[in-house]
Each structure stands twice: as structure tokens, then as C-alpha cells.
């Protein structure tokens, strides 16, 4: 219920449109019921008048019939337009709301789950919320108002009839949907779990197809998939049968109400309490008024899913950001020297420390390389510098000011990054670059790309810098994407530049040229490079070796090669033919960690 209220609160700016949609829906319902009811009364009254020769005013009802006919068509049209318009408005503000609320969480809050999963869930959840207004709010409001009006109208003629109809409407609109929902609870749950099982088997079957084929297990997997598919359909069948039952019973309830109504009304006619045309009118009214509750079963059905979707979105959005931004304005740093003194970091109170007691200095004009095996804390160190994660002890300073005092956006003005997961957006190359400096001139773009050794490639493309990237455009290789991200970071012209594996996937000549250009461009600023290429390491002024979150040793390449055994072993292992030949292939699927 709280989630529902919160959802409604999000929709408040669009109240006007939403009410207009409701009004149009109501008008359509009234017109539809009115058309049949008045028609019924009209022909019965005319027949009675014809038989008895009594005078009758036929202008008013005939005009009403025509008016209802037109109102019904126009109302339906307006209703559909207005409700769609309102839905689009709602979705637009939901999207922006979601985006703005996710922003403070990135990247820490969004990493906990596999990002693909998270994204597809967010997408599906937003789509689900699309239903809320048209398929839930409107039907419920129309039903409540419609039922009240119908019962009030009937009460004018006969209390018993009004009660009977109220009972019929409540049975069809509330009790039946709830009952069906209860009956289908198990099948509903099974449908979800069985679909998940089938999806797993399918993904296993596709991703593991090679292994299954080689080990002769392909037919087994095919049988497994078929069996799970059959199970899934069986759960669906139970739901479909209940669905059919609900549909049949809804119609039956309307008809039974009419049946009971006739039994109540005939004696009224006999006794003269109700005239003949009144009976014709009310009979048609009884049938027509069930339209008010017809969409309720669907609304009930969607409600559960919608609330779950809303709850999930709220849960994501409500996550506490990993870093609390300071209230006070950011201090002005005195220079751009980064100094870490005994810094530690952990990703959660119950998690081991990802960085322990790190002390490090990086001043302008310095070039520092960070090495260490996977999981040794290199990325954590970058996360700390960018204020994506908070440090738990020690001191970290930029230009003599503690990092904690800076707002994230202020701090990141001074640091440019090209990381392994630097995202290239599905727009043009130019727009991707301009992200770093919206006002940069073409000349500046070209310079940055030349430094990053990617200008020649871009210039060769038919559309040059206007080439579209991504799904609808050109797909870049891993190396090209990497260099474009580096160009973007260079364009930022920040006093501190961090590059994460800048040469991975590049041939040796290009890699050397890139690193030389970057070192020259940054000669009077600070450069931090995470790399595993021996040639890059040898050229850096200072090397820091990390293992299990701690600095094992730091110094020049020569010093490290002589005195740091793990470093020497690492460099030797790096001499694998693959990296040397640039054969590391772009990642196709995630590693097998689930």
C-alpha cells in the first residue's frame, strides 16, 4: 500500500490529465449504458402508446438516443487519446525520475548485481508501470463511481432490485477476481519459477553447446529443454483455464442478475408499481451496467505485478549511496598533488579490506604505474580517488585538502579517467568526445584523437567524426574503443589523468606510440597508469606493486625487477605470446562467475 501511495505521489504533476481521462471514460460508460437503456424504454413505450393510442412525447427520447450514440463514439475516441497522452507523460517523468535517482548511486550501488540483469529488470519494471494508470487506476475509479451510480439509479425504482444488482456487481467485480487470484496463486508462482528454470536450461544449452556436443550430451539437453517447456506450459494451462472460468462466470453473473431482476420486476409490473416500458428499460440497464466492472479482473491481475515492479524500483533507488556528499562548498586545492597516508577501504562492514594502509604520493610531472594481480586493489584505489567509495581510515588529500571535503563533481573536475569500462554511447564519435568538454572545437578533438592514436582510424571512416557508434552504427574493436575513451579523457585537460590498461588489445607499435604521446602530453601534470605491459612499465618513472590490497613495494622498474620477487615473476609471466601479439580477443560473454 505504501508503494502504491508513493507511486501515486510520483504521478501528482499529471493529475489534470489523469482526471480528464477518467472523465472521458465515465462519459463513455454512461453513454453506452444510456444508449441501450433509453432505446429499450423508447420502443416499449412506443409499443404501449401504439397499442393504447395514448399520446406520447417521442422527441426527447429520440434525441437522447442520438446524443448517446454520438457521445459513445466520441467519448471512446477522446478517452483513448487522453489516457494515452497521460500515460506517455507519466512514463516520461518516471524515466527522468529514475535516471536522476540512479545517478548518485553509480557506480557502487549498481554493481552489486550483474549489470545486464539489473538493466533488463529496470526496463521491464518501467514497462510494467505503464499499465498502472490505464489498466488499473482508471478501471477501479470508473468501477467505483459506475457501481455507485447504477445502484443509486436502481434504488429509485426498487430497493430489492438495487441490492440484487449491487451483489451481482460486487461478486463479478471483486469476489470473483479475488477468488480466481487465490486459486491461481500456485500456478502463478510455478509459472515464474518454471520459466526461470527453462531460461537457465536454454542459456546453458546455448552457451555450453560446444561442450554438450563434444561430450555427446546435446540430445539430453534438448530433452531437458523440452521437458521444462512442457512443465511451463502446464502451469500456463492451469492459469488459462482459470482465466476462462473467470470470463465465463463474469458473463454468467451478469445474466443471473438479469434473471433475478426479472423475477423481482414482473410482480412489480403486475402490481402497477412499475410500468411496462420501465421493465424493458431496467432489463437492458441490468445487462449494460456490468460493463462498469468488466475490466476489474485484469486490473486485479496486474496489480500484484505492478506493485512488485514498483517495490523493486524503489528498492534500487532507495539504496544508500556509497559516498555521502558534504554539505559545505568544496575547498580550493592548493596545487594538484595527491597524497595518500595509511588509507584503507572496504566494500562493506562484513567484507575484507580491499585496500590496507596505502601510502602514496603522486605530484605534477610524475608518472606512476600501478601493477598487481586481479583483485589486488588497483580498481579500488581508482574508486577511492574518484570518490566512488569512501575510505574508512587514513588520510587522502588533493592539494592539501582532504578528499572527503570535496563534492564528487568538484573533485572529478580535476581528474580525467579512461577505464576498462569507460562507456561509449550509441551516438556519434563527436558527441562521445564532447561529453568531456561540451565546448571543444574540432581542432581540439582532432588533437586529442591524434595523441590517442585514433585520429587516422576516424578520418578513414566515411562519416569521420560524425560516425554513429553502437547498435545502429559502427561497432568498434576493443582497442579502438579503448583509444577513443583515452582521447575523450585527454580532451578533458585535467591536471590528473588515470588510464586503466590503455594498451590492452593494441599492437606493440601503436601501444608504444600511444604511451609516448600520453607521457609527453602529461609531462607537467600527474599520470597514473594501470598496466600489465612490460614495455609500458619500463617507461614509467615509478612503479607501485599491489597485492591483496597492500603495497608490497614501489620504485623504478630497475629497482623493482631486482628487489621485488612477485613483480619479477609477474613481468616474466606477462611475456606470454598472446599479449605480445595482441591476440587478446574482445570479451564476448561474462566470465563464468555468476
Partner 1 sequence: MPDTGTSSSADWLKRERLPIRRSLLQVVALGLAGGLLLIGQAGLLASLADAVILHSATLAGLWPLLWGLLAVFLLRAVLIWAAERTAFAAAARVKLDLRRRLFAQLQRLGPARLAGASSGELSSALLDNVEALEGYYARFLPQMALAALLPLTILVFVLPADWFSGLVLVLTAPLIPIFMALIGKGAETLNQRQWRRLAILSARLLDGIQGLTTLKLFNASRREAQVIARLSEDYRHSTMAVLRVAFLSSLTLEFFASVSIAVVAVFIGFRLLGALGWGPIDFRVGFFVLLLAPEFFQPLRNLATQYHARMEAIGAAERLVEILEQPFAESVASPRPVPPGERFHIAFERVSFAYEPGRAALEELSLEVQPGQRVALVGPSGAGKSTVVSLLLGFLVPDSGVIRINGEPLSEIDLAAWRSQLAWVPQRPRIFHGSLRENILLGRPDADEAALRRAARLARADEFIERLDQGYDTQVGERGQGLSGGQAQRIALARAFLRDAPLVLLDEATASLDAESEDLVQAGIDELARGRTLVVIAHRLSTVRDADQILVLDHGRLVEQGDHHTLLARQGLYAGLVHAYGVAA
Give, as ranges, the residues between 397 and 416 that touch partner 1 (CB under 8 A): 408-409, 412-413, 416
Per CB under 8 A, which region of 234-242, 337-345, 350-358, 397-405 contacts partner 1? 234-242
Per CB under 8 A, which of residues 488..517 are in contact with partner 1?
Answer: 488, 492, 507-508
Q: Mark 522-541 with x for binding to partner 1 (rule: CB under 8 A) and - for no binding.
A: ----------xxxx--x---
Query: Per rule CB under 8 A, is residue 103 in the interface with partner 1?
Result: yes
H runs (alpha helix) in 171-217: 176-183, 185-207, 209-214
- Of 149, 171, 256, 521, the one binding partner 1 (CB under 8 A) is 256
Query: Per rule CB under 8 A, is residue 92 in the interface with partner 1?
Result: yes
Query: Per rule CB under 8 A, is residue 217 in the interface with partner 1?
Result: yes
At its nearest, how many Å lie between partner 1 and the CB of residue 342?
A: 26
Q: Mark 44-83 with x for binding to partner 1 (rule: CB under 8 A) and - for no binding.
A: xxxxxxxx----x-x--xx--xx-xxx-xxx-xx--xx--
How far is CA 198 from each of CA 186, 229, 257, 264, rounded to the nearest angstrom?
18, 6, 44, 55
Look at residues 247, 279, 285, 275 and name the one whose alpha carbon lies nearest to residue 262.
Answer: 279
At its nearest, how many Å lie between partner 1 and the CB of residue 341?
A: 25
Query: Per rule CB under 8 A, is residue 113 in the interface with partner 1?
Result: no
Query: Per rule CB under 8 A, is residue 565 in the interface with partner 1?
Result: no
Per CB under 8 A, which region of 19-27, 176-184, 208-216, 395-403 contacts partner 1? 208-216
At its nearest, how many Å lie between partner 1 and the CB of residue 10?
A: 15
How far is the C-alpha of 439 from the C-alpha of 416, rounded, in Å?
Answer: 17
SS3 category, 227: helix
How far is the C-alpha of 267 from the C-alpha of 383, rounded, in Å?
Answer: 83
Task: To the nearest 10°, report the CA torsion of 542, 547, 552, 554.
Answer: 0
Question: Cis (ω within 30 of 0) for the bond into 107?
Answer: yes
Query: Per rule CB under 8 A, is residue 330 in the interface with partner 1?
Result: no
At its nearest, how many Å lie between partner 1 and the CB of residue 111?
A: 9
- Of 263, 459, 461, 474, the one binding partner 1 (CB under 8 A) is 263
Residue 465 is given by DSSP the state: G
Q: List CB contacts of 309: < 8 A, sequence separation 6 or more.
A: 124, 125, 126, 128, 129
281: buried, middle or exposed (CB in 10 Å: 19+, 13-18, 0-12)? buried
| Residue 140 near residue 299 (C-beta atoms within 8 A) | yes
Query: Per rule CB under 8 A, is residue 248 in the interface with partner 1?
Result: yes
Query: Per rule CB under 8 A, is residue 100 in the interface with partner 1?
Result: yes
At its nearest, how many Å lie between partner 1 and the CB of residue 563?
A: 18
At its nearest, how many Å lie between partner 1 and the CB of residue 549?
A: 14
Per CB under 8 A, which region of 205-213, 363-371, 460-468, 554-562 contacts partner 1? 205-213
Query: Per rule CB under 8 A, is residue 442 in the interface with partner 1?
Result: no
| Residue 296 near residue 177 (C-beta atoms within 8 A) | yes
| Residue 284 near residue 65 (C-beta atoms within 8 A) | no
- Of 26, 35, 138, 299, the one binding partner 1 (CB under 8 A) is 35
- Of 15, 60, 247, 562, the one binding partner 1 (CB under 8 A) is 247
How far is CA 202 from each of CA 3, 52, 195, 474, rounded to the nearest angstrom?
34, 76, 10, 30
- Of 160, 208, 305, 326, the one binding partner 1 (CB under 8 A) is 208
Query: How many residues of this chain bind partner 1 (CB under 8 A)?
Result: 160
Look at residues 554, 557, 440, 538 and name the one whose alpha carbon lies nearest to residue 489.
Answer: 440
Query: Per rule CB under 8 A, is residue 573 in the interface with partner 1?
Result: yes
For 491, the grid coordinates are 580532451
Query: Per rule CB under 8 A, is residue 252 in the interface with partner 1?
Result: yes
Per CB under 8 A, which region of 175-183, 521-529, 553-561, 581-589 contacts partner 1? 581-589
Q: List CB contacts of 406: < 8 A, sequence separation 6 or more.
A: 326, 330, 331, 387, 398
DSSP strand pairing (338-346 vs 353-362):
antiparallel
Quick one: 283 or 307, whose CB is closer to partner 1?
A: 283
Task: To the nearest 10°, report the CA torsion of 229, 234, 239, 240.
Answer: 90
At its nearest, how many Å lie between partner 1 and the CB of residue 249?
A: 7
Residue 576 is given by DSSP the state: -
Query: Per rule CB under 8 A, is residue 280 in the interface with partner 1?
Result: yes
At its nearest, how many Å lie between partner 1 and the CB of residue 498?
A: 10
Place of cell 505492478: 306
At its nearest, how many Å lie between partner 1 and the CB of residue 324?
A: 16
How far is the C-alpha of 517 from the C-alpha of 89, rounded, in Å?
Answer: 49
Query: Per rule CB under 8 A, is residue 374 in the interface with partner 1?
Result: yes
Q: Can you name the residues that pair with 395 across neighbouring β-strands?
A: 341
DSSP strand pairing (367-371 vs 542-547):
parallel
SS3 category, 231: helix
At its nearest, how many Å lie between partner 1 and the CB of residue 335?
A: 21
For the four alpha carbons of 292, 298, 301 and 303, in that order, the dihedral sign comes to negative
Query: Per rule CB under 8 A, is residue 557 in the interface with partner 1?
Result: no
Quick one: 1 or 52, whose CB is closer to partner 1?
A: 52
Per CB under 8 A, which region of 133-141, 145-153, 176-184, 193-201 contacts partner 1? 193-201
Q: Mark 124-143 with x for binding to partner 1 (rule: CB under 8 A) and - for no binding.
A: --x-----------------
Query: Per rule CB under 8 A, is residue 40 in the interface with partner 1?
Result: yes
Query: Per rule CB under 8 A, is residue 420 in the interface with partner 1?
Result: no
Residue 274 is given by DSSP the state: S
How far is the C-alpha of 94 from the C-alpha of 6, rounded, in Å?
Answer: 12
At its nearest, how many Å lie between partner 1 and the CB of residue 514?
A: 14
Residues in the chain, overall count: 594
Query: Per rule CB under 8 A, is residue 269 in the interface with partner 1?
Result: yes
Amino acid at each position: 500500500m505504501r508503494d502504491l501511495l508513493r507511486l501515486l505521489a510520483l504521478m501528482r504533476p499529471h493529475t489534470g490529465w489523469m482526471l480528464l481521462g477518467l472523465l472521458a471514460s465515465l462519459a463513455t460508460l454512461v453513454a453506452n449504458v444510456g444508449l441501450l437503456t433509453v432505446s429499450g424504454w423508447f420502443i416499449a413505450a412506443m409499443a404501449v402508446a401504439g397499442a393504447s393510442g395514448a399520446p406520447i412525447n417521442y422527441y426527447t427520447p429520440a434525441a437522447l438516443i442520438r446524443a448517446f450514440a454520438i457521445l459513445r463514439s466520441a467519448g471512446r475516441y477522446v478517452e483513448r487519446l487522453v489516457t494515452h497522452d497521460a500515460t506517455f507523460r507519466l512514463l516520461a517523468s518516471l524515466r527522468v525520475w529514475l535516471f536522476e535517482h540512479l545517478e548518485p548511486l553509480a557506480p557502487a550501488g549498481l554493481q552489486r548485481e550483474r549489470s545486464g540483469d539489473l538493466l533488463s529488470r529496470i526496463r521491464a519494471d518501467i514497462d510494467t508501470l505503464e499499465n498502472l494508470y490505464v489498466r488499473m487506476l482508471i478501471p477501479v475509479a470508473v468501477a467505483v463511481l459506475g457501481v455507485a451510480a447504477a445502484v443509486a439509479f436502481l434504488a429509485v425504482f426498487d430497493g430489492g432490485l438495487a441490492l440484487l444488482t449491487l451483489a451481482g456487481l460486487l461478486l463479478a467485480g471483486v469476489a470473483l477476481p479475488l477468488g480466481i487470484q487465490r486459486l491461481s496463486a500456485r500456478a502463478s508462482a510455478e509459472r515464474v519459477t518454471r520459466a526461470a528454470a527453462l531460461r537457465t536450461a536454454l542459456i546453458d544449452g546455448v552457451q555450453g553447446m560446444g561442450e554438450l556436443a563434444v561430450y555427446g550430451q546435446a540430445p539430453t539437453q534438448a530433452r531437458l529443454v523440452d521437458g521444462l517447456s512442457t512443465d511451463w506450459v502446464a502451469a500456463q494451462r492451469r492459469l488459462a483455464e482459470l482465466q476462462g472460468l473467470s470470463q465465463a462466470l463474469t458473463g454468467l453473473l451478469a445474466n443471473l442478475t438479469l434473471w433475478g431482476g426479472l423475477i423481482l420486476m414482473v410482480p412489480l409490473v403486475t402490481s402497477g408499481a412499475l410500468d411496462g416500458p420501465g421493465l424493458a428499460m431496467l432489463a437492458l440497464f441490468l445487462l449494460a451496467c456490468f460493463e462498469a466492472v468488466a475490466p476489474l479482473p485484469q486490473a486485479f491481475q496486474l496489480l500484484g505485478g505492478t506493485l512488485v515492479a514498483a517495490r523493486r524500483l524503489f528498492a534500487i533507488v532507495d539504496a544508500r549511496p556509497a559516498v555521502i556528499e558534504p554539505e559545505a562548498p568544496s575547498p580550493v586545492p592548493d596545487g594538484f598533488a595527491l597524497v595518500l597516508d595509511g588509507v584503507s577501504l572496504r566494500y562493506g562492514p562484513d567484507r575484507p579490506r580491499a585496500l590496507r594502509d596505502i601510502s602514496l604520493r603522486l605530484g605534477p610531472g610524475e608518472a606512476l604505474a600501478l601493477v598487481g594481480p586481479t583483485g589486488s586493489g588497483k580498481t579500488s584505489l581508482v574508486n577511492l580517488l574518484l570518490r566512488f567509495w569512501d575510505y574508512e581510515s587514513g588520510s587522502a588529500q588533493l592539494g592539501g585538502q582532504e578528499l572527503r571535503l570535496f563534492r564528487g563533481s568538484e573533485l572529478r573536475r580535476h581528474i580525467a579517467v579512461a577505464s576498462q569500462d569507460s562507456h561509449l554511447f550509441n551516438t556519434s564519435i563527436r558527441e562521445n568526445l564532447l561529453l568531456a568538454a561540451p565546448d571543444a572545437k574540432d581542432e581540439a578533438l582532432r588533437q586529442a584523437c591524434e595523441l590517442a592514436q585514433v585520429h587516422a582510424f576516424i578520418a578513414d571512416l566515411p562519416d569521420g567524426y560524425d560516425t554513429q557508434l553502437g547498435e545502429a552504427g559502427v561497432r568498434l574493436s576493443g582497442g579502438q574503443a579503448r583509444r577513443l575513451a583515452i582521447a575523450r579523457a585527454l580532451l578533458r585537460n585535467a591536471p590528473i589523468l588515470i588510464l586503466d590498461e590503455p594498451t590492452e588489445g593494441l599492437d606493440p607499435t601503436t601501444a608504444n606510440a600511444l604511451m609516448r604521446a600520453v607521457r609527453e602530453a602529461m609531462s607537467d601534470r600527474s599520470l597514473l597508469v594501470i598496466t600489465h605491459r612490460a614495455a609500458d612499465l619500463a617507461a614509467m618513472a615509478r612503479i607501485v606493486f599491489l597485492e591483496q590490497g597492500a603495497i608490497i613495494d614501489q620504485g623504478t622498474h630497475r629497482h623493482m625487477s631486482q628487489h621485488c620477487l612477485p613483480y619479477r615473476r609477474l613481468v616474466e609471466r606477462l611475456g606470454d605470446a598472446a599479449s605480445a601479439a595482441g591476440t587478446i580477443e574482445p570479451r564476448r560473454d561474462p566470465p563464468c562467475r555468476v
